[in-house]
Copies of this chain bind each other. A is one copy, B any other.
C-alpha cells in the first residue's frame, strides 16, 4: 500500500474561482494533519473529536481562514473573474 502524501494538490495555489480556492484551503489544512499523523486508523479515531467539539470546529475554521488568505492573495482575489 503506497501512501504518497502530497501537500498541495496539483502543486499550485492558483484556482479558477474563490469557491475552488476555499476548497483548496480545506484540503491543504487536512493534508498537514495527515503528514503529522500518518496513521489512517488513528486519524479516523480522532475525527469525531474534531467534528463534535465546538472549540475544535472553531480552531479548524481559523486554520482554513489562514490558508485561504494565502490562496486568495495568490489569485489576486479573483478580481478578474466573471461574477
For the complex, is A2 an interface residue (Cβ under 8 Å from B)?
no
Q: Is the CB of B7 within 8 A of A22?
A: yes
Q: Is the CB of A83 within 8 A of B36?
A: no
A19-B26 contact in complex given A36-B60, A50-B36, A52-B37, C-beta closer than 8 Å: no
Give the chain B neighbours of A7 by CB distance below 8 A.
19, 22-23, 26
In the A-B complex, the 9 residue pairs with the smallest Cβ-Cβ separation, listed nearest first, are A74-B77, A65-B66, A7-B22, A49-B54, A37-B51, A32-B61, A58-B59, A8-B18, A46-B54
A→B interface (CB under 8 Å)? 6-8, 10-14, 17-19, 22-23, 26, 28-29, 32-33, 35-37, 39, 42, 46, 49-70, 72-74, 77-79, 81, 83
